[in-house]
C-alpha cells in the first residue's frame, strides 16, 4: 500500500509539473487561483489520471518482486543442496576448489534466508528446506556414484557449475 501511495504521489507531482510548464493562461503563474478555478482547470482529473496510472504499476511491481524472491529462494535452495552434497560424487570434488564450494554454499544459504524473510517464511521452514535439498542431492549423488553412469555425472557437474555462475559471492 505504501508503494501505491508513493507512486501515486510521484506521478501526480510529475503531472502537476507538466501542467505548470505547458498549461494555463499567460497569467497562470502570477495569480493564485481560487478553489473554483482549480476545479475548472482540471486538477481532480489530473489526480484521477495519476491514480489510474499508478495503481496498476504499484500492483505489478509488488507482483514482480514476489516472483523474483520466489525464484531466488528456489534456485538458492537447489544450489545449496547440490553444493553441500558434492562430496558424494567421486572425483568431482577434486575438480572444484573447496573454499569456493564453501563460499558458494554459504552464499546460497544467505540468499535463501533473505528471500525466505521477504516471502514471510519462517526461518525453521527455510532451514528445513535447505536440509531436505541437501539430503535429496546426497542420496541422488550416492546413487549416481554406485551406478557409475558418466553421462549423468557430467550433467550433474554442469548443473553444479551453473550454481557457481549464479553464486552471489
Q: How far apart are CA 36 and CA 26, in angstroms?
A: 18
pTM over 0.85: no
Q: How far apart are CA 151 and CA 159, in angstroms?
A: 13
The backbone torsions φ and ψ at residue 38, rounded to the nearest 5 degrees and listed phi first, read -60, -45
Three-state secondary-structure class, residue 149 = coil
Q: How far apart are CA 41 and CA 156, in angstroms?
A: 66
Are the C-beta atoms of 152 and 144 separated by less than 8 Å? yes
Q: How far apart are CA 67 and CA 71, in angstroms?
A: 6
CA nearest to 97, candidates 155, 160, 168: 160
Are the C-beta atoms of 86 and 141 separated by less than 8 Å? yes
Total structural domains within the chain: 1
- Give the structural domain span for 96: 2-166
Instruction: Per-residue pLDDT tens, the chain, 169 aa: give them.
Output: 566 677 777 777 777 767 666 665 555 556 666 666 665 666 666 667 767 777 777 777 767 778 888 998 999 999 999 989 888 887 776 778 888 888 888 889 999 999 999 888 999 999 999 999 999 999 998 898 888 888 888 888 888 888 888 765 4
Q: How far apart are CA 67 and CA 88, in angstroms?
A: 33
Are the C-beta atoms of 109 and 80 separated by less than 8 Å? yes
CA nearest to 52, candidates 4, 2, 1: 4
Angle at 126 between CA 124 and CA 128, to 5 degrees: 65
The C-alpha cell that represents 167 in the structure block: 553464486
Amino acid at each position: 500500500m505504501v508503494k501505491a501511495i508513493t507512486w501515486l504521489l510521484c506521478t501526480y507531482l510529475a503531472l502537476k509539473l507538466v501542467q505548470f510548464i505547458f498549461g494555463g493562461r499567460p497569467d497562470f503563474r502570477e495569480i493564485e487561483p481560487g478553489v473554483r478555478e482549480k476545479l475548472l482547470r482540471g486538477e481532480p482529473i489530473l489526480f484521477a489520471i495519476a491514480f489510474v496510472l499508478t495503481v496498476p504499476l504499484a500492483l505489478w511491481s509488488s507482483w514482480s518482486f514476489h516472483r523474483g524472491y520466489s525464484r531466488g529462494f528456489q534456485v538458492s535452495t537447489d544450489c545449496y543442496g547440490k553444493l553441500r552434497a558434492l562430496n558424494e560424487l567421486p572425483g568431482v570434488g577434486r575438480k572444484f576448489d573447496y573454499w569456493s564450494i564453501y563460499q558458494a554454499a554459504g552464499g546460497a544459504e544467505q540468499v535463501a534466508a533473505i528471500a525466505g524473510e521477504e516471502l514471510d517464511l519462517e526461518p525453521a521452514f527455510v532451514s528445513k528446506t535447505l536440509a531436505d535439498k541437501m539430503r535429496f542431492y546426497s542420496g541422488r549423488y550416492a546413487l549416481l556414484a554406485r551406478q557409475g553412469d558418466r553421462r549423468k555425472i557430467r550433467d550433474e557437474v554442469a548443473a553444479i557449475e551453473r550454481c557457481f555462475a549464479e553464486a552471489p559471492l
